[in-house]
Amino acid sequence: MTIREWRNGMVAGIVLCTVTALIFYNSVRALALGIVIMPCWMLWWGRERQRIKKEEFERQLSAALQALAAALEAGHAFENAMMEVCREQERERQDRSMVGREFKVMAQELAMNIPVETVWEHFALRCTQRDVQELAMVVGAGKRSGGNLIQVMRRCVLQITEKMEVLSEIETMLSARKLELRLMLIMPAAILLYMRFVFGGMMAYLYGSTAGVIVMTVCLCLYAAAAVLGSRIIRTCS
């Protein structure tokens, strides 16, 4: 995570701990729960940032490879086609994206007369993406064997594009379920707030007494378990 993402995660975690302490315990002393909540929250936050970056990287890679295949179809040599993609990304202000920065590095390596297969191997080493590693192997094998690299790249781009389309369709189907999960997670807290404002006298027994603290702790544990289970189900389906 970047410093900005880490800072945003910390702020969100502090807000979460504060809201949890006030809703479930109505006590500032309950902020001590942050000792347990914050590490779990930051772990989830980091994994979520990585997932979002991975999905964004895959979309950017698919677009860059389509542009590369189009440049090869136009008759450019493989090295010149990569340079053309880099120039096109600069014109479209995409050179600061994750894939744009990688293509810029590869263009600089090509300008230093580094073989294109070695450039792609370096890209695969910097990136743990499986598609990139397979492309590096394809480019290296194609250059060494002297095969039809344009045809090979077209097939690779087609496979990656189809994969991205399938993932996009799955994401669209799961978007409604994700919204339902968010609403289900909000509802218990909203009900507690409603009960506190409407039936304050009755709810007062849950705050301040030992039995009330135990009941609210059990409810909080069940709430957290439901949130984790729901997130895992959505992640497994995607």
Structure-model confidence comparison of residues 215 and 33, the more confident one: 215
Q: pLDDT tens across 170-194, in order? A: 777 777 788 888 888 888 888 888 8
3-state secondary structure of 115: coil
Q: Is the pLDDT of residue 1 over 70?
A: no
One domain, residues 94 and 50: no
Domain boundary (127, 149, 166) is at 166
Q: What distance in Å separates the CA atoms of residue 28 and residue 17, rounded to the nearest whole number?
A: 10
One domain, residues 137 and 78: yes
What pLDDT does residue 238 have?
A: 59
One domain, residues 79 and 141: yes
One domain, residues 46 and 60: no
Structure-model confidence comparison of residues 1 and 59, the more confident one: 59
Structural domain harbouring 48: 3-54+167-237
One domain, residues 132 and 215: no
3-state secondary structure of 1: coil
Mean pLDDT taken over the chain: 79
Q: How confident is the model at residue 207 (pLDDT cuts 50, 70, 90)?
A: confident
One domain, residues 174 and 160: no
What pLDDT does residue 95 have?
A: 60
What one-character DSSP code corresponds to residue 208?
Answer: S
**Burial zone of 107 (CB within 10 Å; 0-12 exposed, 13-18 middle, 19+ buried):** buried
Q: What distance in Å separates the CA atoms of residue 76 and residue 166, rounded to the nearest whole number?
A: 30
- Cβ atoms < 10 Å from Cβ of 102: 20
One domain, residues 162 and 174: no
**Burial zone of 15 (CB within 10 Å; 0-12 exposed, 13-18 middle, 19+ buried):** exposed
One domain, residues 14 and 46: yes
**Whole-Å CA distances, 72 to 3, 16, 75, 164:** 39, 51, 5, 21
- Cβ atoms < 10 Å from Cβ of 25: 20
The CATH number that applies at residue 112 is 1.20.81
One domain, residues 150 and 63: yes
3-state class percentages of the chain: helix first, strand second, coil last, to nearest 5: 90, 0, 10
Structure-model confidence comparison of residues 33 and 15, the more confident one: 15
What one-character DSSP code corresponds to residue 32?
Answer: G
Token duo for residue 139:
């480019």
Burial 167-194 (b: 16+ CB within 10 A, else e): eeeeeeeeeeeeeebeeeeeebeeebee
Domain boundary (125, 143, 166) is at 166
One domain, residues 90 and 15: no
Indicate the number of domains in the chain. Answer: 2
Q: What distance in Å separates the CA atoms of residue 41 and residue 92, rounded to the nearest whole number?
A: 37
Q: pLDDT tens across 118-170, in order? A: 888 888 888 777 777 777 787 777 767 666 667 777 777 777 777 777 777 77
Q: pLDDT tens across 102-113, in order? A: 888 888 888 888
Q: pLDDT tens across 70-82, in order? A: 777 777 777 777 7
Closest CA to 89 of 111, 106, 113, 109: 106
Domain boundary (112, 147, 166) is at 166
